[in-house]
Amino acid sequence: MTMYQKTLTFILLLIIPFMTGCSPDVNGDRYSLKECKQEMLEAEDFLEAEKIDRIVVIKKERKMYLYKGNKVSAIFPVSLGKNPVGHKVKKGDNRTPEGQFWIHRKLCSPKYYRSLCISYPRPQDKARAAARGVNPGGDITIHAQPTWNADGKGDDYTLARNWTQGCVAVTNSAMNQLWYAVREGVPVTIK
């Protein structure tokens, strides 16, 4: 890597926290949203042969385990919220929530290629936040890489650190596998 490339990478690292969030960006067509949405409309976003039954994210390991039956069918490295220790308490704390969730929808996103939305906040998360007088946050997803890393050349960099606002980030190639293996309702455990 040349000095110019190292400098550019360093600059990108400094501005990533300001450029990225976990909410979908609806301005633009970076990742061919039209094709993604058409695929979903035609129910071509799922392959029965690739189906997984559950997703488990182990925050301490920074890994995602995909299960088919009781067997692990794939393991992916992940990036988490910038403040990864502990359960999400409020909007803006940069923590990845912990507990039992499910995939409640798929999202074609120009910001992160594709995303799987998880069912946070749950009623207990809302109640806990209300008792503290804070907003529990939301828009927590399992998402792919930001647009600047569309080609995957920055995967080693992004996977070496936690940089999201509370989401779980995987590579675009991992998201392709997840996208076709997951239907709405698939349970997600984050611990």
Q: Is-above-0.85 flag for pTM?
A: no
User: Where do the H-state alpha helices sit in the chain?
Assistant: 3-19, 33-41, 123-132, 155-159, 172-181
Domain ranges in the chain?
3-190
CATH of span 3-190: 2.40.440.10
Please say whether the dihedral angle defined by the alpha carbons of residues 5, 114, 57 and 18, taken in this order, is positive or negative: positive
pLDDT tens readout for residues 143-184: 999 888 888 899 999 999 999 999 999 999 999 899 999 999
Q: What H or E segment, with its residue span, contains residue 8?
A: helix 3-19
Q: No. of H helices and E strands in the chain?
A: 5, 8
pLDDT (mean) for 82-104: 95
Residue 151 CA to residue 154 CA, distance in Å, equals 8
Q: How many C-beta atoms lie closer than 10 Å to residue 143's C-beta?
A: 26
pLDDT in tens, 63-81: 999 999 999 999 999 999 9
